[in-house]
Amino acid sequence: MGARVSAPSGMLQVGRVAERCEVLGPGRRAVVWVAGCPLRCRECVVPELLDPAAGEPVAVAELSERLLALPQLDGVTFSGGEPFAQAEALLELTRRLRARRPQLSLMSYSGYPLSWLRKHGTPAQLALLDRLDVLVDGPYLPERHAPLRWRGSSNQCIRLLSDRHAELAQAADEPAGIELELDTGGRFAWAGVPPRRGWRHELERRLAEQGVLLEAAATPEEAR
Q: Does residue 138 belong to the site contacting ligand SF4 (CB under 6 A)? A: no
Task: Using the minimum distance from each CB to ligand SF4, give the nearer residue, 80 or 164.
Answer: 80
The kind and range of the H/E element at 204 are helix 199-209
**Binder among 44, 107, 117, 189 for ligand SF4 (CB under 6 A):** 44
**At its nearest, how many Å lie between ligand SF4 and the CB of residue 148?**
15
Task: Using the minimum distance from each CB to ligand SF4, give the nearer residue, 92 or 222.
Answer: 222
Q: Does residue 25 belong to the site contacting ligand SF4 (CB under 6 A)? A: no
Q: Does residue 16 belong to the site contacting ligand SF4 (CB under 6 A)? A: no
Q: How far apart are the first and last CA of the chain?
A: 18
When computed from its CA atoms, the radius of gyration of the chain, rounded to whole angstroms, is 16
Amino acid at 156: Q
**Binder among 7, 35, 41, 91 for ligand SF4 (CB under 6 A):** 41
Q: Give dist(CA 36, CA 100) in Å, integer.
A: 28
**Chain-centroid distance, C-alpha 138:** 13
CA distances in angstroms from 184 to 10, 72, 81, 213, listed in the order given: 34, 25, 27, 12
Give the per-residue SS3 of 11-64: EEEEEEEEEEECCCCCCCEEEEEECCCCCCCCCCCCHHHCCCCCCEEEEHHHHH
Task: Using the minimum distance from each CB to ligand SF4, give the nearer residue, 40 or 187.
Answer: 40
Residues 194 and 222 sit within 8 Å (Cβ to Cβ): yes
Q: For residue 214, which of 177, 178, 179, 181 has the smallest C-alpha distance?
A: 181
**Binder among 25, 26, 83, 111 for ligand SF4 (CB under 6 A):** 111
CA distances in angstroms from 32 to 27, 143, 202, listed in the order given: 15, 27, 25
Q: Does residue 191 belong to the site contacting ligand SF4 (CB under 6 A)? A: no
**At its nearest, how many Å lie between ligand SF4 and the CB of residue 100?**
29
Task: Using the minimum distance from each CB to ligand SF4, give the nearer residue, 58 or 136.
Answer: 136
Q: Does residue 39 belong to the site contacting ligand SF4 (CB under 6 A)? A: yes
Task: Using the minimum distance from each CB to ligand SF4, give the nearer residue, 159 or 164.
Answer: 159
Q: Does residue 93 belong to the site contacting ligand SF4 (CB under 6 A)? A: no
Task: Using the minimum distance from each CB to ligand SF4, give the nearer residue, 44 or 117.
Answer: 44
The stretch among 2-10, 78-86, 124-132, 191-199 that binds ligand SF4 (CB under 6 A) is 78-86
Chain residues binding ligand SF4 by CB under 6 A are 37, 39-41, 44, 46, 80-82, 111, 139-140, 223-224
